[in-house]
Structure 1
């Protein structure tokens, strides 16, 4: 049985968090850590070593214990330590608030799912998709302030894989009042923290102990309360259910690989095969990072099952979301676990694409850690 202190810490902190909470962002970052080349990790450490942040504020979930003294301790530049930074600086960087989400004009799930075909709400290029492109370019060009660009990128990749950050209906579900296990909350919060906390608490106990033959996994864990959940995701998901999907997850369409967009409003002439991509994919995507291409299937889930029939109507009652029917759909497909894995793998792919040296393994995007 797990200790009462980590349990209480988990429950008390998750209820206060938002935007995947610190937990979701740290899980995405930890999974990414498992895929980084040595040269990539060295470059990241060099960047973060010059960065100033309050480690106690960021590393709020490092309460658990790991029952092994033989596992290499993660370095102080672990990406999870900065994963929640972008949420913590919203107060003094108010301009960054709109970069955590994207709202398609005319989007109103579950009846209507539109993802950029009619454009985006808000100011041009001020959304999470453009933010991922901009921070990636900042790192590629090694501009001053790369430490903040890196921390923003780590966070935005987590945000993009939280489905409620991809729709503008009632501010991403913040305006939809629901109940979760009898408690009044909003639909955004259910996806930000309630579901993930439930899955962490229900992780099978066999994952409490370190995996004896998986150093590439264990070396990147930090003794956090969610370590067992990450082990389950990696073994049952990445090495199991989704093992043949990884390459497609981290790939960008070949049709856009040779198109380099400038920072102006001009668009290149497109061959016929690319006409349907002229808006909006070419505003954000290239061969290194293709956030629109990655986010579109996640957004499609809004019209498939994310919004249950009980809250489909704008004037719905405050209904209970924690039902066997709803949770069974999520558990069967491992929806949330898949989003976290995709976010981590794609983050690693971008960082390896920016920083990996030519002498390392030939994979263009990244490597699968050995179990």
Structure 2
């Protein structure tokens, strides 16, 4: 399958009113989709439901894990390297390095590609069953890649993004990547939310309007022009003012250095102090914040594509949809 590369530009901006083994866990992807769903406009929500197969019930949370389920299929082999980004010279925690080269195939190019494809079919409309299939795949990949990019170890190539960095998790063997993909999220839900993922989600949405303010109000603001040099997608995506994957990857790469890889020790139990620092109040509930950030940015981009007539806003209003 190939995605559109030559596209018609969109118009007004509308913000929301409200490595093969590198796979962000199913729960993490589901949560990013649930956050995004709360910040879609009604019109965007309608069009998303129209794009997705009936199986998904119009829910981004159900579509988000799909790209990890098809990695073994020959039809989608081309997408296996689009879940992460590695840059030469990056060696955390000693050296953070994100000088991005657009000639590569990675999650950044993947996000540009899928966004451009969605924009193309919004402008022209699919005319064949194949077009509709390509459009649906683009949406499912887009939602998934947004989650991947906000997991710091998807922006660090060291030891395959931590997959080959052994750790201890309680009495079991684990690795640094798996801890960030799923184990910290699951333990946080179990320990602080009595095994209730909905309470975990509701708390994240609540924190956008208190603990994470005013930072959260600026999560969807960026300047796509900063990285336009050598960007083959710039002309087709420049009007989407909330699409800045290079900027996000740079931030996540810095976080991989300053936090994820800091004081790495294969003999340390990462379910203790490390877990508390990553999920607790000391660092602003970091794991939850990254999930929420991904979902809000996801919704903002989809609203720009599917509901551009809504008025320009200076800030995202964190109003949960019913």
> What range describes the TM-score normalised by the shorter chain of this pair?
0.7 to 0.9
User: 1:229–1:370: structure 2 CA closer, same or farther, 3 Å change rule?
Assistant: closer
Q: 1:244 aligns with which of 197, 214, 217?
A: 214
Alignment match, 2:152: 163
User: 1:179-194 maps to which residues of 2 (within 5 A)?
Assistant: 179-194=168-183
* Cα-to-partner distance string for 1:15-74 (whole Å, 9 max, x where unaligned): xx97221100010000000110111111111111xx376x6xxxxxxxxxxxxxxxxxxx
| Bigger Cα Rg | 1
Alpha-carbon deviation of 1:195? Answer: 0.4
Alpha-carbon deviation of 1:350? Answer: 0.5
Q: 2:39 aligns with which of 35, 38, 41?
A: 35
Q: State the number of aligned residues.
A: 287
Alpha-carbon deviation of 1:185? Answer: 1.1
CA contact (8 A) 1:285 1:292 kept: no
User: 1:326–1:26: structure 2 CA closer, same or farther, 3 Å change rule?
Assistant: closer
CA contact (8 A) 1:129 1:284 kept: no
| Residue 45 (structure 1) aligned with residue 49 (structure 2) | yes
C-alpha separation in 2, matches of 1:129 and 1:254: 13
User: 1:259–1:115: structure 2 CA closer, same or farther, 3 Å change rule?
Assistant: closer
Structure 2 unpaired stretches of 5+ = 1-20
Structure 1 unpaired stretches of 5+ = 1-16, 56-75, 209-224, 269-282, 312-316
C-alpha separation in 1, matches of 2:104 and 2:95: 23
Alignment match, 2:117: 138
C-alpha separation in 2, matches of 1:254 and 1:129: 13
Corresponding residue SS for 2:219: helix
* Cα-to-partner distance string for 1:87-127 (whole Å, 9 max, x where unaligned): 0011112221100000011111001111125x48xxx3310
CA contact (8 A) 1:308 1:326 kept: no
C-alpha separation in 2, matches of 1:308 and 1:261: 32
User: 1:325–1:47: structure 2 CA closer, same or farther, 3 Å change rule?
Assistant: closer
User: 1:146–1:309: structure 2 CA closer, same or farther, 3 Å change rule?
Assistant: same
* Cα-to-partner distance string for 1:250-278 (whole Å, 9 max, x where unaligned): 11127549989545xxx99xxxxxxxxxx
Alignment match, 1:306: 260
Structure possessing the higher relative contact order (Cα contacts under 8 Å, 6 or more residues apart) = 2
Q: 2:223 aligns with which of 253, 257, 260?
A: 253
* Cα-to-partner distance string for 1:148-170 (whole Å, 9 max, x where unaligned): 10000000000001111110000
C-alpha separation in 2, matches of 1:336 and 1:171: 21
User: 1:188-227 maps to which residues of 2 (within 5 A)?
Assistant: 188-204=177-193, 225-227=196-198
- TM-score normalized by structure 1? 0.70
User: 1:294–1:184: structure 2 CA closer, same or farther, 3 Å change rule?
Assistant: same
- TM-score normalized by structure 2? 0.80
Segments ≥4 residues shifted beyond 6 Å: 257-260, 283-286
Corresponding residue SS for 1:185: strand
User: CA RMSD for the aligned pairs?
Assistant: 3.0
